[in-house]
């Protein structure tokens, strides 16, 4: 029988082959991933910063293990029907670890992963003090990941954190080296200004990723602006997370000061929340097959 359904990797490749930039808001957890899908976005970005915050309440400094991250990804892919792009940090060790990382994420059902060129333990690309692996070693690690994915449709994104660590020239050099290593897209992280973003866009040809971080001046650029600059994929890694934590903090402050949630920040109703988490699906199962 002819296979009609596309895999998540194939779906993402189809999106990237289209004329429009693909927008991937970040999700710290599965419920946020459902909100991203419900808002009509075609893909979800599983942010490592968000995963670390939601699981540990701690910063993105390489604290989560490979198994914790892939479990997080597996839960997220089960929660949504759109492709999930996952942060795979540094690959969690040497070549054998990278090989296992690729296969674990494949089994988790993600459409793409990105691997970065920091030393371990890594840190968020927006933080200071980033330390890089040498470029030759990073190329070998990406070739290892490409080999590990074999003929599967998993996309490999080569990320460099060289921009804040060593400047635009080195970031561009590494991006081109990673393209030559066979990755599907390159990702220069740590962009904080429009000038930096425009420099990356002008110097790096081919499919590339941009990360728009709330609080940076790059938020002044629209999706159409990014598309016209030549970016294929845009992450909005912390938009939902920062909005959610602010809203929760405000609601709790209001409750503490007034003694009631009434009059606090806007909320979902119980019915709206039940729809979001799919209560009707499980009620139907219970009605049909329950005791």
Measured at the CA of 132, the angle between CA 131 and CA 137, to 5 degrees, comes to 150
- The model's confidence at residue 130, banded by pLDDT at 50, 70 and 90, is confident
Helix ranges (H only) for the chain are 8-16, 30-38, 48-56, 66-79, 95-108, 135-149, 162-166, 168-180, 194-203, 223-229, 239-258, 270-276, 279-289
pLDDT tens, residue by residue, 177-192: 999 999 999 999 999 9
Q: Is there a domain that residue 48 lies in?
A: yes
Tokens 């999706």, located at residue = 223
Question: Is position 170 within any domain?
Answer: yes
In-domain check, residue 107: yes
Is position 114 within any domain?
Answer: yes
Of 213, 231, 148, the C-alpha closest to 183 is: 148
- Check whether 125 has a pLDDT greater than 60: no
261 within a domain of the structure (yes/no): no
* Collapsed DSSP state (helix, strand, coil) of residue 190: coil
pLDDT class for 120, splitting at 50, 70, 90? confident
Give the orientation angle of helix 135-149 with respect to helix 95-108, to 10 degrees: 40
135-180 residue pLDDT tens: 999 999 999 999 999 999 999 999 999 999 999 999 999 999 999 9
With a CB cutoff of 8 Å and minimum separation 6, the contacts of 89 are 48, 62, 64, 69, 115, 116, 122
Per this entry, what is the length of the chain?
291
Domain containing 132 equals 8-246
CATH code, 114 = 3.20.20.60
Give CA separation, 234 vs 60, 124, 219, 255, in Å.
20, 17, 12, 37
How far is it, in rounded angstroms, from Cα 218 to Cα 58?
A: 26
1 within some domain: no
Per-residue pLDDT reduced to its tens digit, 195-207: 999 999 999 999 9
User: Who wins on pLDDT, 128 or 17?
Assistant: 17
pLDDT of residue 70 exceeding 80, the answer is: yes
Q: Which residue has the tokens 């054998």?
A: 96
Q: How many domains does the chain have?
A: 1
Domain assignment present for residue 120? The answer is: yes
Whether the upstream peptide bond of residue 280 has omega within 30° of 0, thus cis, is no
> Does residue 199 contact residue 223 with C-beta atoms inside 8 Å?
no
Q: Is 167 exposed, middle or buried (0-12, 13-18, 19+ CB in 10 A)?
A: exposed
Residue 263, token pair as written in the block: 């009059």
Mean per-residue pLDDT over the chain, rounded: 95
What burial class does residue 198 get, using C-beta atoms within 10 Å of its C-beta: 0-12 exposed, 13-18 middle, 19+ buried? middle
Dihedral sign, Cα of residue 15, residue 20, residue 22, residue 25: negative
In this predicted structure, the answer to whether residue 77 has a pLDDT above a threshold of 50 is: yes
Whole-number pLDDT of residue 6: 84
pTM assigned to the model: 0.94
Give the residues across from 185 on adjacent strands.
157
The C-alpha atoms of residue 229 and residue 198 are separated, in whole angstroms, by 7
Q: Where are the alpha helices (DSSP H) in 204-236?
A: 223-229
Residue 104 within any structural domain of the chain? yes
CA-CA distance, 231 to 197, in Å (whole number)? Answer: 10
Which pLDDT score, from 0 to 100, does residue 57 have?
A: 96
């Amino acid at each position: 029988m002819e296979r009609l359904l596309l895999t998540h990797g194939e779906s993402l490749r189809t999106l990237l082959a289209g004329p429009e930039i693909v927008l991937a808001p970040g999700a710290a957890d599965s419920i946020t991933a459902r909100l991203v899908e419900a808002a009509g976005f075609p893909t979800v970005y599983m942010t490592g910063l968000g995963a670390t915050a939601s699981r540990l309440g701690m910063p993105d400094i390489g604290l989560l293990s490979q198994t914790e991250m892939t479990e997080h990804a597996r839960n997220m892919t089960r929660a949504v029907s759109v492709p999930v792009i996952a942060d795979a940090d540094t690959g969690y060790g040497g070549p054998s670890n990278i090989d296992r990382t690729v296969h674990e994420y494949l089994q988790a059902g993600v459409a793409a992963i990105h691997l970065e060129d920091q030393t371990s333990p890594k840190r968020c690309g927006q933080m200071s003090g980033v330390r890089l692996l040498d470029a030759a070693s990073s190329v070998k690690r990406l070739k290892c990941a490409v080999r590990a994915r074999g003929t599967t449709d998993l996309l490999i994104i080569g990320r460099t954190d060289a921009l804040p660590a060593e400047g635009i020239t080195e970031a561009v050099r590494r991006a081109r080296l990673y393209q030559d290593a066979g990755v599907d897209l390159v990702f220069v992280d740590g962009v904080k200004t429009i000038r930096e973003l425009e420099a990356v866009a002008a110097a790096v040809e081919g499919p590339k990723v941009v990360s728009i971080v709330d609080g940076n001046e790059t938020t002044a650029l629209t999706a159409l602006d990014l598309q016209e600059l030549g970016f294929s994929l845009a992450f909005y890694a912390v938009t939902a997370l920062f909005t959610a934590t602010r809203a929760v903090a405000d609601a709790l402050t209001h409750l503490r000061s007034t003694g009631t949630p009434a009059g606090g920040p806007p909320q979902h109703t119980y019915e709206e929340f039940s729809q979001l988490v799919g209560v009707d699906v499980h009620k139907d199962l219970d009605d049909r097959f329950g005791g």
